[in-house]
Structure 1
Amino acid sequence: MEKLEKYIKMCRLAIKRRLTQTDKQEEEKLDAWLRESEENRELYHSTNYIDLAELNDYYSKTDVEYQLSRFHKGRKRTTRSIVWRWSAAAAILLVGGLSLYMMNKTEPVMISSMKPLPAGVSLVLSDGRQVDLSTPYHPDTVEMGTAIANIQQNTLIYTPSDTSREVKFNTLIVPRGTSFHLVLSDGTRVWLNADSKITYPVAFTGNTREVRLEGEAFFDVKKNGQAPFTVNTDRLKVRVLGTKFNVNTFADAGYVSAALVEGAVEVSGMTGEPCRLVPGQVAMIDTIGKIRITNTELKAYTAWIDDMFCFRNAPLSEILKQVERYYNVKVIYDAGYREEYYTGDIYRNKPLQTLLDVLEMTIPVKFELLDQVVHIRRKG
């Protein structure tokens, strides 16, 4: 904690040096800190990648001074210049983002009360049989007449085995606490997030390719102009030819979404005409089927396939819903809790306690982890 606080102070000086200039005393402090270690110099150089204008936009409606005061209680501030505001915003973002670098420099935190991630990834065949893909005793291949499914490490790969027109369906079920990768018979790649399920033909036939999704998945669709690819969910439909996009049906924020990374897609809800997306856009569908399209940073929607959480001014209640799914825990809010917001990037391969510690650094909450249950209360 003390190390992180010192880094934030140095970060503010580094940002100030970039924007205007530092005085002699500030230069001496910064130079002394840089001479202390190679790690400090690497952290200093990381500030070169901060987009100041973008940060200012992120924090335009955030009480940056209050958030930073969590680290500097009792310190009076007499200036409110834009230089200070940018440096404070950068420091806060680094708590959740570049502090990950510091987390990687330390030994992993061992949490005795945290159970290992659960098994349970299963494949339901067309005849109703169920194969547990999480154990080392599953078959290496599954013969299904029209295709062969090769089961490799955390990946299920389908390859057509004949030209049969018989359509058989499989369902891949990914429980809480893990994720899985699927390669369909046409070469389309699908990344399934925790607590998700997808149903698909063993081999695609005819001029359509359709799958059904519950939960969240990222698709890298193999292009085929003669056979559009369609993702069906309860509240939205996404139709493409060949593209990369994310579909999330969890509705943690009251809507489901489709985020387009590459190519073009048509998105339709339960009502109204389909809407066409271009890369960088997200379609959000509410409970009555109304679609709203926004241009936004896609990292918050796709970072999970790189095993990261990415939050941009996200309500803590939404963040903790993701925590429940990924770490397979239950969250209980103590009386008196009020909503808080957080911005930052956190690796998902860290122990849960590490993630909770990072959140505690920037927002006035306290977590207690006991037997797969996270209790949350306000500090003070």
Structure 2
Amino acid sequence: MKKKIEDILVEEGITEKKIKEEPNASPKILDTANQLYSYLKTPKNKWSALEKKQLHFRIQHSIETITRRKTRRIWFTAASVFIFAISGGIWYSQFNQPSEIADFANSIKESKNDTITRLVLSEARAIEISEVESEIQYDTKGEEIAIGSSQTVQQKLEPVKPSYNTLTVPYGKRSKITLSEGTTVWLNSGSKMVYPAVFAKNKREVYLDGEAIFNVSKDPERPFVVQSQQFNIEVIGTIFNLSAYSDDQSSTAVLKEGSIKLIRKTKAYLPTENKMISPGEMVTFEEEGEQLVVRKVNPSDYLSWHHGYYVFKSETLGNILKKISRYYNIEIDLKDRELAQITFSGRLDLKNNIKEVLHTIKKTTPFNFKEEEKIVTIY
């Protein structure tokens, strides 16, 4: 490991000419290889232990990805970067680092058993909201916040650094929030959104863990970016639904109006994947396959929950029960795993209680259930 990186490049016979002549590499791969080669030849400062640990994890992911693709040249690229990380460098800082708002969101400690909607202001002052359906509205300066029709709170903002507020909506609750620049967001049960009280002059950025409908105020000079664990969505003005729960295996975005650019995050040293989405399209990211899949849908079916009903078309019972469990804040124990794959199509009125909703599904999907306290057992 004490070898200099330039010695390793010489031993492997890697040159700019050889990279350009690689017959099996795509333009994206060649571009990435050229960037790496350029950095490997340049002396770098030593890294901290934390940076080495982070890069080790990312390179390991790259190697696993590369092994699946069976691309010899890319394997060498990843392996070279790993050696480079040990010997020192700062190149990592340019690739997919978490943003400030994402770091802040991930640092928040929260309880999954909470039953109160909480608005936490930048000075760490928490406001509890007991209503099942709450409404929050900021003034244009971000200093005055109206909660429902009877409560108003003030917050002091520091002009030097962004003041992040956090809205956490537990299972069984929903919330509508109007941000300082006019964007309206409906948060579904079990969701958390982090956002600045006042947006910066050049961008509008929020972080979502959960499900929300965004009606983004148009501002061509300041694109609106929604960050989530799996991908970012960039818009100027549009209406869309994003479902990105951190404990789900897949994330989806459905566009009703306007256009959005979806940028998939990656832990590997590979080019990121971008998708432009048009109205009436849904994009799904499956964590296992690490692919973005786009298909045509009726957007109203996916935005219906904030009107008090769900619309399902050939949806698996397992997915439906997870949504219902969150909405009603009730534990559902599905005993038969095969039942989870049975599909259901229809409309569920969420103004009904949990028993009525399950009886509606039961009309076309064979199962039995029993309710004991706050646990429903399906068999």
TM-score band by shorter chain is 0.5 to 0.7
Return the offset for 1:165: 5.6
Letter in 2 for 1:275: K
Partner of residue 207, structure 1: 202
Alignment of 1:224-263 (within 5 A): 224-250=219-245, 254-263=249-258
The verdict on how the C-alpha distance between 1:158 and 1:188 changes in structure 2, with shifts beyond 3 A counting, is farther
Partner of residue 77, structure 2: none
Partner of residue 360, structure 1: 362
SS in 2 for 1:123: strand
Partner of residue 168, structure 1: 163
Partner of residue 311, structure 1: 312
* Structure 1: distance between partners of 2:294 and 2:152: 34
Return the offset for 1:141: 9.4
The percentage of aligned residue pairs carrying the same residue is 28
Letter in 2 for 1:276: M
Partner of residue 191, structure 1: 186
Letter in 2 for 1:129: R
CA offset digits 1:161-180 (Å, max 9, x no partner):
99956421100000000100
Letter in 2 for 1:268: I
* Structure 2: distance between partners of 1:246 and 1:204: 21
Are the aligned partners of 1:146 and 1:163 in contact in 2 as well (CA < 8 Å)? Answer: no
Return the offset for 1:158: 10
SS in 2 for 1:126: coil
Letter in 2 for 1:151: I
Between the two proteins, the alignment pairs up a number of residues equal to 257
Query: Aligned pair 1:280/2:275, yes or no?
Result: no
* Structure 2: distance between partners of 1:325 and 1:285: 21
Return the offset for 1:335: 4.7
Are the aligned partners of 1:145 and 1:162 in contact in 2 as well (CA < 8 Å)? Answer: no
Partner of residue 175, structure 2: 180
SS in 1 for 2:321: helix
RMSD between aligned residues: 3.2
Are the aligned partners of 1:174 and 1:194 in contact in 2 as well (CA < 8 Å)? Answer: yes
| TM-score using structure 2 length | 0.62
Return the offset for 1:250: 2.9
| Structure 1 portions without partners, runs of 5+ | 1-117
* Structure 1: distance between partners of 2:250 and 2:137: 38
Return the offset for 1:309: 1.1
The verdict on how the C-alpha distance between 1:246 and 1:126 changes in structure 2, with shifts beyond 3 A counting, is same
Return the offset for 1:131: 0.9
Partner of residue 101, structure 1: none
The verdict on how the C-alpha distance between 1:258 and 1:277 changes in structure 2, with shifts beyond 3 A counting, is same
The verdict on how the C-alpha distance between 1:237 and 1:141 changes in structure 2, with shifts beyond 3 A counting, is closer
CA offset digits 1:76-119 (Å, max 9, x no partner):
xxxxxxxxxxxxxxxxxxxxxxxxxxxxxxxxxxxxxxxxxx95
Return the offset for 1:344: 0.3
Return the offset for 1:244: 0.4
Letter in 2 for 1:120: I
* Structure 1: distance between partners of 2:216 and 2:350: 25
Letter in 1 for 2:118: S
Partner of residue 296, structure 2: 295
Partner of residue 321, structure 1: 322
Partner of residue 41, structure 1: none
Query: Aligned pair 1:131/2:127, yes or no?
Result: yes
* Structure 2: distance between partners of 1:255 and 1:160: 37
Are the aligned partners of 1:160 and 1:185 in contact in 2 as well (CA < 8 Å)? Answer: no
SS in 2 for 1:302: helix
The verdict on how the C-alpha distance between 1:335 and 1:350 changes in structure 2, with shifts beyond 3 A counting, is closer
The verdict on how the C-alpha distance between 1:211 and 1:354 changes in structure 2, with shifts beyond 3 A counting, is same
| Structure 2 portions without partners, runs of 5+ | 1-113, 267-271
SS in 1 for 2:144: strand
* Structure 1: distance between partners of 2:158 and 2:248: 44
Of the three residues 342, 345, 358, the one matched with 2:344 is 342
* Structure 1: distance between partners of 2:205 and 2:291: 23
* Structure 1: distance between partners of 2:247 and 2:343: 15
Return the offset for 1:126: 1.0
CA offset digits 1:297-339 (Å, max 9, x no partner):
2233211111111110111111000111011111112357533
